[in-house]
Amino acid sequence: MIIVMQKGAGEREINLVIEKIKTAGLDVHLSRGEERTIIGVIGDKTRVDADEIRAVAGVEKIMHVTAAYKRASRDFHPDNTVINIGPLSLGGNKVSVIAGPCAVESRDQLLDAARNVKRLGAVALRGGAFKPRTNPYSFQGLAEKGLELLAEAREATGLPVVTELMSEKDIEMVAKYADVLQIGARNMQNFILLKDAGQTGKPILLKRGMSSTLEEFLLAAEYILAQGNSQIILCERGIRTFEDYARNTLALSVVPVIKKVSHLPIIADPSHGTGRSDLVIPMSRAAIAVGADGLIVEVHPNPEKALVDGPQSLNFEQFGELMKEIKPIAKVIGREV
Ligand code: PEP
Ligand code: MN
């Protein structure tokens, strides 16, 4: 971190800044120019509050030399973080596909979906028991009953279960049933939820907020990492743009950037990323080609009858086609599905 003082800032202001840095246990490197003084901060910058320094009269600007996120950065942890949960493996050479319905609707629906996605090559089952719906009168999920069905589907198939945690009040219940806690796009900056979920020690699938920058996304992951939990799966699920031909714009360029700046695995969600089943297979191919560690895809026994997100859900035949089409792409870049 570099602090640039205003032209003509006095000794009093410079010393005040130095004092704040030293109080945080860090060292300074002073550079006194003809016109202005520049203060370099040496040490763990997470211990200084940039806003507190910005508030000192005489401070012109603060520049970050290294990223604001620390534990999430590759500088901090050069090797990929690898997450292995039964057959699900992320961050290594394998490309893993998580699939299942948007919402758990019934026993028949879930078990049918679970058996078929497993048969076709999925290595984890997704399904929401708590659904973040825009309309309060829409189906909100089966809550604990849905979690019980997910546990039954895991028993029947051996697939680990990924399910969304929406509120810290449900944390014990959801953590009891889930193998991976999903934090949805709408909660990416629910910092209390991030901290509490991090403390469970369970792997966390963190979806990118629909209007979050890359830095905000990684700072959200930093909240979980700061709890001592490094089992984080990042997920690009599309962002809001001016476009309206698709539900969201799947920002796939974030994948190679994240692979460069962070050690955490990243997967893509072409279902929410497009909102259209006809775009799910092409965008899945693209996601694997740019280096995603996996996919999370919505699959329903009968998308036309789905209670949630039918238009973006694949049927079993389409999901089989997806699995078939991503295999050669993974192979070309030296990976396997
Ligand atoms: C979901 O995965 O069903 C979901 C609600 O996703 P998102 O939080 O990305 O909208
Ligand atoms: Mn959905």
Q: Residue ranges per domain, the chain?
A: 2-63, 83-332
Q: Ligand 1 centroid vs 99 CA: distance in angstroms? A: 13
> Which residue has the least CA distance to atom 8 on ligand 1?
184
**Ligand 1 proximity of 102 Cβ (cutoff 6 Å):** yes
Q: Ligand 2 centroid vs 155 CA: distance in angstroms? A: 23
How far is Cα 169 from Cα 163, in angstroms, rounded to an integer?
A: 15
**Ligand 1 proximity of 71 Cβ (cutoff 6 Å):** no
Residue 311 amino acid letter: P
Taking only Cα atoms into account, the Rg of the chain, rounded to an integer number of angstroms, comes to 23
pTM for this structure?
0.91
* In contact, 274 and 283? CB cutoff 8 Å: yes
* Encoded tokens for 59: 């401070």
What is the CATH number assigned to the segment(s) 83-332? 3.20.20.70
**Ligand 1 proximity of 202 Cβ (cutoff 6 Å):** no
Helices (H), the chain: 11-23, 50-54, 107-119, 144-157, 171-177, 191-199, 214-225, 254-261, 270-274, 277-289, 316-332
Tens-level pLDDT at each residue, the chain (337 residues): 899 999 989 999 999 999 999 999 999 999 998 889 999 998 887 788 888 999 999 999 998 888 889 999 999 999 999 999 999 999 999 999 999 999 999 999 999 999 999 999 999 999 999 999 999 999 999 999 999 999 999 999 999 999 999 999 999 999 999 999 999 999 999 999 999 999 999 999 999 999 999 999 999 999 999 999 999 999 999 999 999 999 999 999 999 999 999 999 999 999 999 999 999 999 999 999 999 999 999 999 999 999 999 999 999 999 999 999 999 999 999 999 9
**Ligand 1 proximity of 259 Cβ (cutoff 6 Å):** no
**Ligand 1 proximity of 272 Cβ (cutoff 6 Å):** yes
**Topology match between the domains 2-63 and 83-332:** no
CATH superfamily, domain 2-63, is Phospho-2-dehydro-3-deoxyheptonate aldolase; domain 1 (3.30.70.1140)
DSSP letters along 14-75, please? HHHHHHHHHHTT-EEEEEE-SS-EEEEEES-GGGS-HHHHHTSTTEEEEE-SS-S--TTBTT
Q: What residues does 314 pair with on adjacent strands?
A: 299
